[in-house]
Structure 1
């Protein structure tokens, strides 16, 4: 079968191939589309493919473990790919192996277990993601603390969205000692319906504001719990 001209065009553009269109893969693909990125979606389910027809740049039903099928779809010409297969670990691993063989430079692969992720690491996958595990950890931090939101940037570094406490409220940030004492930095703040603003030494946070605090996870979380 000849390569689809449409698929070839997608591969040459600002584009991503997303393989596996379950809840995670579909949400990711639609978010990419909303951000202006062209998406080739691939799944083995005809029902899923039909439901996304017209919502992605191109969506195709095919077996992603079939090397010839992927080549016919010009998958090897993409420089960014996401393997979001979660229900079939064997298919996930075989598909990812093919993408690595194609030499695709940026691959994100969804792992459903630690062992699954370790196999990806051994294969040399650059980006291994654990959506359920990461979300569980994030919610746990929100449940046990006073944070309004929580983003773990790395293994031991986080950004916490919280309300100003007495250590920074109604005080010029340059006059506080929070960085030296608590090891955290207030990055930005939001007041009412205004847009987010970067902080500087002259920023004074008020009651009712929301702020973003960055630092080592335990320190940022602890600072966000202070009143």
Structure 2
């Protein structure tokens, strides 16, 4: 059976999730307490509902516990975000993902049982900073508070070296888990694979080690 989703909060973040889920052909209920926002998504979401999600009786009436995954994307009301998340978990919703405004908000959400806490503004800020700091960094994905995956385009510093020559594991504590070369993807690449200019290296490791490696190739 296909999963059914609920998105609570139809600001930029929540609205973009609704649009993407709709594009993927997934059933999604969109909820907000703002009538204008709900009307905006009436023809995009499977169901669009005006509701106060801090009211347990309202969530029960919507049959919220029958949905597989609820995304709490409430943007500007931390109290409503926390209370909504708490009620959802108390009602037995299997998976709740909640947007955090700051680190303190995230700590509270983790304590009350949110399954996943996301920091879209912070994470996007980090990605942009990495992209600006080095023209070679194409993308940056945070895995945890300390570990990330980075896509790095091979320039002059890296080209002509084998993966063994670079020895990023010994020198930086990093692992090259794949190399993208045009349409080809080399997973767990051979250590004797020669890196070509324009190759995209997918590197995983501790943020401090990734930062050191990025500095080495920053001028490529």
What's the TM-score bracket when you normalise by the shorter of the two chains? 0.7 to 0.9
Measured in 1, the distance between the counterparts of 2:103 and 2:207 equals 22
Q: Which runs of 5+ in 1 are unaligned?
A: 1-11
Q: What are the superposed Cα offsets for residues 133-170 of structure 1, whole Å, 9 maximum, x if unpaired?
A: 22222322333334222112112212121122566522
The answer as to whether partners of 1:160 and 1:221 remain within 8 angstroms in 2 is no
Residue in 2 that maps onto 1:98: 87
Q: What are the superposed Cα offsets for residues 99-128 of structure 1, whole Å, 9 maximum, x if unpaired?
A: 011011211111213332232233222222
Measured in 1, the distance between the counterparts of 2:34 and 2:125 equals 28
Measured in 2, the distance between the counterparts of 1:116 and 1:181 equals 37
Q: What are the superposed Cα offsets for residues 70-104 of structure 1, whole Å, 9 maximum, x if unpaired?
A: 22211121231111111222222221121011011
Residue in 2 that maps onto 1:205: 195
The answer as to whether partners of 1:151 and 1:158 remain within 8 angstroms in 2 is yes
1:141 aligns with 2:141: no
Deviation (angstroms), 1:175: 5.3
What is the SS of the residue equivalent to 2:216?
coil
Query: Which one of 59, 74, 95 corresponds to residue 85 of structure 1?
Result: 74
State how 1:102-113 maps to structure 2 within 5 Å: 102-113=91-102
Deviation (angstroms), 1:182: 2.2
State how 1:121-140 maps to structure 2 within 5 Å: 121-140=110-129
The answer as to whether partners of 1:163 and 1:224 remain within 8 angstroms in 2 is no
1:17 aligns with 2:3: no
CA RMSD of superposed structures (Å): 2.2
Residue in 1 that maps onto 2:41: 52
Measured in 1, the distance between the counterparts of 2:166 and 2:73 equals 45
Question: Normalization by structure 2: what TM-score?
Answer: 0.86
Measured in 2, the distance between the counterparts of 1:142 and 1:176 equals 22
Deviation (angstroms), 1:45: 1.4
The answer as to whether partners of 2:86 and 2:113 remain within 8 angstroms in 1 is no
Deviation (angstroms), 1:195: 4.5
Question: Normalization by structure 1: what TM-score?
Answer: 0.83
